[in-house]
Amino acid sequence: MTDPGKKFRIVKFLKIIISCAVLTIASLLTVATIRTLSMDVNAGLQLANWEKTTNLSLVLDRHEREQLFANLKDAIRIRTVSYSQTNLNTSALLLFDRFIRKAFPTVFSSSKVKHELVANYSHLFWVQGSRPELQPYMLLAHTDVVPASEDDAWEVPPFSGDEKDGFIYGRGTMDDKGSVMGILAALEYILMKGYTPQRGFYIGLGHDEEVHGLNGAVNIVRLLKERGVKLLFVLDEGSAILDGILKGLDGPAALIATSEKGATVLKLSVSMPPSHASMPPRETTIGILAAAVKRLEENPMKRLFGLGPEGGMFEHLAHKFRFPLNFVMSNLWLFAPLIARIMERNETTNAFVRTTTAVTMFNAGVKENVIASYAEAFVNMRIHSAQTLKEVLECVESTVGDPRVKIEVVYGFDPLPISPYDETSFGFQIIKKTVLDMFPSMIVAPGMCIANTDSRHFKDLSSSIYRFTPAIYKPGDAQRFFIVSYSIHINSNGYCIYLIIRPKASLSCVFARTCCATDWPLSPVKLEHQTKSTSVCSKAHIQLLCRCSFSEPISHGIIL
The answer to whether 377 and 289 have CB atoms below 8 angstroms apart is yes
SS3 percent helix, strand, coil of the chain, rounded to 5, is 35, 25, 40
Listed in sequence order, the residues at least 6 apart from 360 whose beta carbon sits closer than 8 Å to its beta carbon are: 378, 379, 380
Domain boundary among 395, 413, 431: 413
* CATH number, position 287: 3.30.70.360
Note whether 30 and 89 are same-domain residues: no
The answer to whether 407 and 290 have CB atoms below 8 angstroms apart is no
Please give the pLDDT value at position 157. 85
Please indicate, yes or no, if residue 525 is contained in any of the structural domains: no
Q: Which residues of the chain have pLDDT under 70?
A: 1-60, 150-153, 166, 438, 476-560
Buried b (16+ CB within 10 A) or exposed e, 267-299: ebbbebeeeeeeeeeeebbbebbbebbeebeee
What pTM did the predictor assign?
A: 0.80
CA distance 174 to 477: 11
Please give the pLDDT value at position 62. 75
Please indicate, yes or no, if residue 512 is contained in any of the structural domains: no
Please indicate, yes or no, if residue 560 is contained in any of the structural domains: no
Task: State the catalytic residue, choosing from 176, 208, 209, 210.
Answer: 209
Please give the pLDDT value at position 511. 32
Note whether 346 and 363 are same-domain residues: yes
In the chain, the number of structural domains is 3
Q: What would the pLDDT profile of 233-271 be if each residue is shown by its tens digit?
A: 999 998 888 888 777 888 889 999 999 999 999 999 999
Domain boundary among 413, 446, 464: 413
Concatenated DSSP letters for 336-403? Answer: HHHHHHHHTTSHHHHTTTS-EEEEEEEEE-SSTTEE-SEEEEEEEEEE-TT--HHHHHHHHHHHH--T
Please give the pLDDT value at position 19. 53
Please indicate, yes or no, if residue 47 is contained in any of the structural domains: no
* CATH number, position 222: 3.40.630.10
Angle at 294 between CA 291 and CA 298, to 5 degrees: 140
Cis peptide before 176 (omega within 30 of 0): yes
Ramachandran category for residue 157: left, alpha or beta (phi over 0 → left; psi -120 to 50 → alpha): beta
CA distance 435 to 241: 10
Domain boundary among 437, 459, 489: 489
Which residue range is the domain that position 399 belongs to?
A: 264-413
Please give the pLDDT value at position 18. 56
Note whether 331 and 252 are same-domain residues: no
The answer to whether 356 and 382 have CB atoms below 8 angstroms apart is yes
Assess whether 209 carries a catalytic annotation. yes
Note whether 363 and 253 are same-domain residues: no
Note whether 330 and 447 are same-domain residues: no
Please indicate, yes or no, if residue 538 is contained in any of the structural domains: no
Note whether 2 and 95 are same-domain residues: no
Please indicate, yes or no, if residue 359 is contained in any of the structural domains: yes
CA distance 204 to 141: 6
Task: State the catalytic residue, choosing from 97, 144, 208, 414.
Answer: 144
Please give the pLDDT value at position 106. 97
